[in-house]
Amino acid sequence: MKHSQSTGLIISMKNLFSLFLLLISFFSLAPASAQDISLGLQFVAGGFSIPLLVTHAGDGSDRLFVVQQRGRIRILDANRNLLGTDFLNLGSTGLDRVSRSGSERGLLGLAFHPNYAQNGRFFVNYTLRSTNPNLDGDTIIAEYQVSPSDPNVALPTEKIILGPIDQPESNHNGGHLAFGPDGYLYIALGDGGGGGDPYNNGQNKNSLLGKLLRIDVDSPPQAYAIPPDNPFAGAIPGADEIYAYGLRNPWRFCFDRLDGRLFCGDVGQDTYEEIDLIQKGDNLGWRIMEGMHCFPDYVACATAGLVYPINEYGRDLGISVTGGYVYRGSSYPSMYGKYLFGDFESGRIWALEETSPGTWDRTELLDSNYLISSFGEDEAGEVYLVGYGNGVVYQLIDNAPLPTRTPTPTVTVTRTPVPTPTETPLPTVTATPTSPPSSGVSNWKVY
Ligand SMILES: [Ca+2]
Ligand SMILES: [Ca+2]
């Protein structure tokens, strides 16, 4: 009796101790609030000429690929040294495929096949340079391949997958493309330009403009096939390639590595910038709505069936959203699970987090001095930022000391000045009278 009592006491002491350990681990693993992040931008590499994108090949090489608007794709090796030779040059000094002018034209997107390590296939989205005025500026989705003998050089042979897709104006080309967790290629196209979607492309299900497309590029000998569950596949009225519609100028989308959810920044017209969480078949509202408001805001509109953004901001905070990434890296646990995005013109960077299902909370992390043309990820899920005007790639870091980690003295904010880009950013396209004044270099704030 006595013996079992003392055993019972020992067990309960052990349980208490376990509970104590559990509580400690719970609190140290509890997700940090975005307010706790002290965001810093750590210099990675500079010397790029109007860069638009940074991404990785997913091949285990730990390289970063930096896309320049005028057509060059450059490589940072695993030590973040810039290689002297281009991976691919689609610009005027190379294959000369890409528009040489137009503030929103150029080489706009790059995506590596999910099996790139085995098949060497990658895809680009660009606007075409052509002496034929009917083709000049049209969108091309094309496939290239890495050289079998040199992993840092691509072969010059182009296979056109989709296009030329007619672009009625020089602006609103969209341009991002990425493979989803389903293995299909997703392609973002803007509404074709002008101001206020004069052609009503966003809501026209027979046009590829103002859409997110989804195609299957693994169906030889066809250039591509239609995923059978695309919302307008086959006999269903509407273009077979469409995955979602009602977009204005989607500028950068991503898939959350954890759950595959698709986040997209859609650049606004006159008043609101928005972040969308896109599902198959969604009508994201443009040009009926801008952000969460009827467009224009003095008219009544029918909102039934339209999918609202999960977040919006007005002209007090920026004028051209740049969609980012859900942080799933391991270096900065405070950022884990937060969607990091920014504004091209104001340089502000925010974290968006879902505090309860369907409720999104936005926190400003930094008001930077950079023209943020893109965010990007490396293979490990660390997140980067591309400075368009100064030609620099930065890594997003957290300078705040973490209770569960030893502070690392090397983590500091670095804003190293870099040489002026060799190409000057192009002037803004003509603004409509209703547009807000533009400060400095404007690009995707488009009218
Ligand atoms: Ca159809
Ligand atoms: Ca919308």
Task: Average the pLDDT over 181-196 and give the result.
Answer: 97
CA 80 to chain CA centroid, Å, is 21
CA of 205 to the centre of ligand 1 (A): 9
The ligand with the least distance to the CA atom of 278 is: 2
The pLDDT value given to residue 320: 98
* Among candidate residues 307, 226, 227, 298, the one with its CA nearest the CA of residue 266: 307
Mean pLDDT over each residue of the chain, to the nearest integer: 88
Task: Average the pLDDT over 336-356 and give the result.
Answer: 98
User: 428 falls in which pLDDT band (50, 70, 90)?
Assistant: very low
Percent of the chain whose predicted confidence (pLDDT) is above 90: 81
Q: What angle do CA 326, 332, 338 make, to 5 degrees?
A: 25
The ligand with the least distance to the CA atom of 240 is: 1
CA of 280 to the centre of ligand 1 (A): 15
Residue 402 has pLDDT above 80, yes or no: no
The pLDDT value given to residue 442: 42
CA of 176 to the centre of ligand 1 (A): 23
Task: Average the pLDDT over 27-45 and give the result.
Answer: 83
Residue 340 has pLDDT above 90, yes or no: yes
Residues with Cβ within 8 Å of residue 165, at least 6 apart in sequence? 138, 139, 140, 189, 208, 209
CA of 240 to the centre of ligand 1 (A): 4
The ligand with the least distance to the CA atom of 311 is: 2
CA of 268 to the centre of ligand 1 (A): 28
CA 77 to chain CA centroid, Å, is 22
Residue 102 has pLDDT above 60, yes or no: yes
Q: Give counts: helices (H), strands (E), the chain.
A: 2, 26
Give me the amino acid identity at 351. A
**Distance from C-alpha of 288 to C-alpha of 290, rounded to nearest angstrom:** 7
Task: Average the pLDDT over 373-381 and give the result.
Answer: 98
Task: Average the pLDDT over 185-213 and give the result.
Answer: 98
Inter-CA distances, 151 with 70, 71, 116, 142, 296, Å: 22, 19, 11, 19, 50
Task: Average the pLDDT over 197-210 and give the result.
Answer: 98
The pLDDT value given to residue 32: 78
Q: What is the DSSP letter of 345?
A: T
CA of 239 to the centre of ligand 1 (A): 5
Q: What is the pTM of this model?
A: 0.85
CA of 158 to the centre of ligand 2 (A): 34
CA atoms within 13 A on the CB side of 254: 26
- Protein residues near ligand 2, an ion, with CB under 5 A: 284-285
